[in-house]
Every structure is written in structure tokens, then in C-alpha cells.
Amino acid sequence: MLNHLRRGSGRPVLLVHGLGSRLEVWDAIADRLAASREVIAVDLPGFGSSARFGPDRTPDPPGLARAVADFLDEIEVPAPRVVGNSLGGTVALELGRLGRVSSVLCVSPAGFPAAWERRLLNLSLRMNRRVGTMPTPVHRMLARRPLRFLALGQVSANPGRVCRTDALRALEGLRLASDYDRTRRGLLSYRLENPHEIKVPVTIAWGTKDHLTLPGGMARAASLLPQARIVALEGSGHVPMWDDPDRLTGLILAD
């Protein structure tokens, strides 16, 4: 079973993190959601405290979505609303294709880069991994406010506003990512196939100051998914749970 955290009661909401992250990235909004929803935050295989895939399974978005679908069977939650950030956004779309969720909210999904953006994304993700493998004393230094932009500048529009605890957790998440490189390769080779097979409502939200999955991907997502609702998160970066938790919470609860 995948490592997860459940809290609250009501209509279930499943939260899926991005590459190199873990379930704690949702802490800024989890309690707000739990006031009226059952919140299920999960560590994807090979991240946080969840075991990685074996050599016979590929950690690309479709493969990860099947693992999450199996997890939903195990905990007997048949059709939650799914909210995915970055890699988690592509996993959420694949869960929608599988018909395992009631609706999909993708937050800065990583599956829509142009060719040159894909190369830049690969470089950025490789650099992030190097930061994540630095010693703990270096992480503690990078989590201090004057240097926080070095650690979080690609994913937050306002790194100085991210609390030190969240910064340290983000760096620790990168360190704990036991299947980072295989998943990175699976993500970079991913293309959304047959989007018409996704029959559930889809909302795609994108930070206008996202420096990792560039906002140009929003237009490509709109083209591939004309039925989707597209929302620009003004002033937010790649992780709006930190930059604008109020707006993101409202989007999640709007379903």
C-alpha cells in the first residue's frame, strides 16, 4: 500500500504531489480542505515513504496512475476528486482516463511542454535532484530566508514567504525520492494520448509565474483538452499551495 494520510470527512479529495515531492507539500491547505472534505494525500511510488517500483514496472504517468488506482481499491474509495500538481497533474489526467475519479484538477501539469521546453525542464529537474542530494547542513543553510530563493526559486513565485519548515520538507522530499531519475525519464517521454477518452470534468490551473512548467503549456493543454476549464493563477509559481493557498483551496472545493 502507498504511504498516505487521511483526515476530515465528506466527499473525498485525493492529493497527488509532483516529481521529487511528497504528501507533506499539501500541508498548507490540507486542514482547510479537511473542514468539509475527506482528504487523502498520497506518496507516489518511489517518493516520500512509499516503496519504489520494481524493475518490471515503469514509473511514467500511466504506470503511476495504475498504482494509485490500485491504492484506491485498497482503501475502498471508488471515485474521489483528484488534485495533482506537476507530475501529479499528469497522473490525475491518467486517473481520469481510467475512469477512477469523479473530476480532475491539474495544477501546473508537467505533460504539455514544447520541444525546447522539454529540454529545459530536463535540465531543471536534474539540477533539482543535485540540490536534493546535498548534505543536511547545506539544506539547513538553503532553507534560511536570505538563501531560500536558491532552493525554491523555480517552484515558488515568492520563496521568501515559504516557511522554513516547508522549505526543509521540500529539500528532504528530494533527498527521499528513491526513484527520481527513472520517474523523470518517464515523465519527459510522456505525451497525453487520446484525451477524448477522459470523460470526467477537468480543470487545469496554471501559475502565471511558473518557472518550471512554463505557462505557455496552458494554451497547449487547452488545445488538447477543449472541454477543460482553464484557470490562470495570477502571481503564483509552480506550487500554488505555497503562493496562493486561498485561491487553490477555493478551486478544489468548487467541485
DSSP the chain: ---EEEE--SSEEEEE--TT--GGGGHHHHHHHHTTSEEEEEPPTTSTTSPPP-TTS--SHHHHHHHHHHHHHHHT--S-EEEEETHHHHHHHHHHHHT-SSEEEEES-SS---HHHHHHHHHHHHHHHHHHTS-HHHHHHHTSGGGHHHHHTTT-S-GGGS-HHHHHHHHHHHHH-TTHHHHHHHHHT-----GGG--S-EEEEEETT-SSS-TTHHHHHHHH-TTSEEEEETT--S-HHHH-HHHHHHHHHT-
| 48-60 burial code (b ≥16 CB/10 A, e <16) | bebebbeeeeebb
Q: Does domain 4-253 have CATH number 3.40.50.80?
A: no
Q: What is the DSSP letter of 44?
A: P
Asked if residues 91 and 84 have their Cβ atoms less than 8 Å apart, the reply is: yes
User: Using CA atoms, how far apart are residues 129 and 166, in angstroms rounded to an integer?
Assistant: 17
pLDDT in single tens digits along all 255 residues of the chain: 999 999 999 999 999 999 999 999 999 999 999 999 999 999 999 999 999 999 999 999 999 999 999 999 999 999 999 999 999 999 999 999 999 999 999 999 998 998 899 999 999 999 999 998 999 999 999 998 888 888 898 899 999 889 999 999 999 999 999 999 999 999 999 999 899 999 999 999 999 999 999 888 999 999 999 999 999 999 999 999 999 999 999 999 997
Which pLDDT belongs to residue 182?
A: 97
- Going 219 to 22 to 249 to 101, the CA torsion angle's sign is positive
Domain residue ranges in the chain: 4-253
Which pLDDT belongs to residue 11?
A: 97
Which pLDDT belongs to residue 150?
A: 84
Which pLDDT belongs to residue 14?
A: 98
Which pLDDT belongs to residue 145?
A: 82
